[in-house]
Amino acid sequence: MPLPLSFGGVLKASVLCSVAASLFELVAASPVVRIDTGLVRGKRIPTDNGDVDAFLGIPYAQPPVGNLRLSRPQPAKPWNGTYAATEPPTPCFQPDQWENDDARMNYSSSAEDCLYINVWRPSGVCPEEALCNTTGLPVLVFLHGGAFQFGDSGLRVYDGREFVALTKVVFVTLNYRLYFYGFLSMENSALPGNMGLWDQLMALKWVHRNIRHFGGNERDVTLSGHSAGAIAAGLHSVSPTSRGLFRRVILQSGTPLTMILALSYSGVTKFVNVAVALGCYEVGRTLDAQIDSVVGCLKRVDYVSLRTKMATMQPRRQMFLPVYGDDMLPFHPLDNDGIEMHVKEMFLGTVMDEGTFMVYALRAAVPYLMDFFALDYRMAITVGLKFAFDIPTHLGKNIVQAYFGDYGVLHDNDAIVDILAKLIGDAAFDCATNFFAEKGAEQGVQTYRYLFAHKPSYSFWPEWVGIAHGSELPLTVGSLGLFKTEPRFTSPSGKYGDNVRNQKASQEDQLFMTQLLEIWSSFVRDGCVREKAAIIKYVVEKRRCHRHTARV
């Protein structure tokens, strides 16, 4: 005969049932996917446009530490149990970003163990995990920018939840090595460099093997990026090592030809300077005589010491960028005639005022810049072109004359800044984009060229900066509504941080974001920019190289 339950027993049983029910709901709301290295548990995120499953911080490679430092990445090892992929990954090691006291990012939390990937998908895309293999949604892989020195996939601007909710596309972001660990190079077999690009390639291979388990189609991948991320995406579109891993590219404010910025930031001398600063180079001996010991020392340098010693070097000596001559880039990135693209479609463009952010940063870094200009701004800019772009002085003078006119034509400070910004924007972004678009069209790639000419209501820049580099990102990624959410790492500080947290996008921006996501997703789906987006007034011109130019 069963014993009667007391009131306390009933209460305890009720509590246990409630706890069990809550746990069941929690488990049911936590999507689990089996990939080639094990089980992965994500989290379900509600949005106004439907639920989204987010899998954040999945290892796609082994931690590049110890003997793997400064080496090509190795595939992630399998794990037991279920991997919790519910938080953004730690940023890859990088210096702090200090534009000035009003705009800075603290990256003291960045680390070497950082090779992780994030996946967002529409909830319910796989009614059962076993049926995911038949779904096949288009996939967008996005590479963050930051001059190959900064940035991380955990920043709020790269959060893909709204992009996925509105477009029903699988969205992927990732971390890749930056700065010293990502692009230090001797430009030979001892240390060829490009570790960050090889990380990206490893991530693309991971997508090819695993994205079907998330409901994506590995044969319908678009590779995208902004700024340095766009440069990298463009390099992958011409690299023999990346062939077959994606069908099309979206390049926002960057192409391989933007690498003109890197011409004067490489070379063995730079490597030696770094090795000396870190105590890894014996002055008086040739590099060839001590290559093995130098590389071994660099792999052993204490993480904290490296950060401290690198901070004392001149900024120019701390710029580490992609180099050519390895399997990834066997050709010079500026050899436009030697480039052969292996994509079917390309969508690329720039914003109206690409060069202003560089002038802004230059003025912050060199407070006496305008005093320099007061003496002879034409000569100062000519010298600057030699310093920044390795442009010979006689050619630099011709360029300056083309933009500023003869010495008889005078300009005030505002005009000097505006013209200089235009010159830099043309050299690094607009002309590079036009030439790369023309090269694609010549090779039969269906090519679309856009110009972003909308001044968002949320701009963090002074008025004179205009429609600045990166202004379009919250609109094209769909992250407008996430300004007030705090990232796990790298919370912006100073007045810039206050501005970020206090921003509220206008209804016009929200509508424009929806329209832009229609354009971006139509290209991701089938490589075409649909006329359905005619709400946004396109002006389309057919150029001699069959490049289509759209003003957005």
One-letter identity of residue 312: T
354 classed as catalytic: yes
Encode pLDDT of 309-368 as tens digits: 888 877 767 789 999 889 999 988 777 677 899 999 999 999 999 999 888 887 777 777
Taking residues 220-246, report their average pLDDT.
97
CA distance 361 to 104: 12
Please report the pLDDT score of residue 539 as a whole number.
36
Residue limits of CATH 3.40.50.1820 in the chain: 50-262+328-354+430-551
Q: What is the DSSP letter of 353?
A: B
CA distance 529 to 382: 40
Rounded to 5 degrees, φ, ψ at 273 are -60, -40
Of the candidates 173, 350, 119, the residue with the CA atom closest to the CA atom of residue 251: 350
Q: State pTM to two decimals.
A: 0.89
Q: Of the listed 354, 438, 472, 518, which one is catalytic?
A: 354
Q: Of the listed 253, 469, 518, 522, which one is catalytic?
A: 469
236 classed as catalytic: no
How are strands ordered across the β-sheet holding 82-84?
A: 32-35, 38-41, 82-84
Q: Which residues contact 472 (CB under 8 A, 6 or more apart)?
A: 252, 351, 452, 454, 456, 516
CATH annotation of 50-262+328-354+430-551: 3.40.50.1820
Contact present, 98 and 77 (Cβ < 8 Å): no
Q: Which residues contact 380 (CB under 8 A, 6 or more apart)?
A: 372, 373
SS3 524: helix
Contact present, 212 and 133 (Cβ < 8 Å): yes
Contact present, 224 and 252 (Cβ < 8 Å): yes
One-letter identity of residue 325: G
Q: Which residues contact 20 (CB under 8 A, 6 or more apart)?
A: none
Q: Of the listed 224, 227, 266, 471, which one is catalytic?
A: 227
Taking residues 117-121, report their average pLDDT.
98
Encode pLDDT of 8-58 as tens digits: 454 444 444 444 434 334 445 789 999 999 999 999 999 999 999 999 999
pLDDT above 70 (res 384): yes
